[in-house]
Amino acid sequence: MAAAERAAIVGALHSERFVGGRPATVWATPLDEGVYHASWSTFYRLLRAAGAVRERRAQATHPARKKPDLLVTGPNQVWSWDITYLPGPVKGQDYRLYVIRDIYRRAVVGWLVAPTEAQWRAAALIRATVRRHGVACDTLTWHADNGAATGPRPSPPS
């Protein structure tokens, strides 16, 4: 195959008309119009040689999330909280452990075990823990992993 023919095929693959299309589509469309450039495998071989065998469609990209830098110099400045799945003594019976930890002291400052996850339970635990330790809300930074709740879900009754 001549260099001009190879350049025409690579040019077609990168043309505005076919820029997001699969090589098989780029090969078949001109064929439907009565134009034959080369075989389907030749299209892929030329793409590989040009270093263009990759996802050809425009992909959505999200900006990288900046991880927070938490500088803690004393107790009751940054608290971390999480909800953890706890298996119960009987199959199908499980609990949720709500835990609040002081990052500086690495100590648990509040906790609660409940049969289910509920937003109102977490809010009540946070309020009670803040009140118990006498921490001003405007001086406290909260940290959480923002992970999804996981663990086995109870099966429906039979």
Q: What does the pLDDT look like over 135-147, one tens digit per residue?
A: 987 788 888 876 6
Q: Transcribe 103-146 into DSSP letters.
A: TTTTEEEEEEEESS--HHHHHHHHHHHHHHHT--GGG-EEE---
CB atoms within 10 A of CB 44: 15
Question: 10-14, 28-32, 61-65, 81-85: which has the highest mean pLDDT?
Answer: 81-85
User: Please, are residues 30 and 12 in contact by the beta-carbon 8 Å criterion?
Assistant: yes
Model-wide pTM > 0.85: no
| pLDDT above 70 (res 117) | yes
Which three-class secondary structure state does DSSP give residue 58?
A: coil
Specify the range with the lowest mean pLDDT, choosing from 58-67, 69-78, 116-125, 128-137.
58-67
Nearest to 23 by CA among 10, 13, 11, 8: 13
Nearest to 26 by CA among 108, 15, 63, 45: 15
CB atoms within 10 A of CB 101: 18
Which CB contacts under 8 angstroms, 24+ apart, belong to 47-51? 47/10, 47/13, 47/23, 50/10
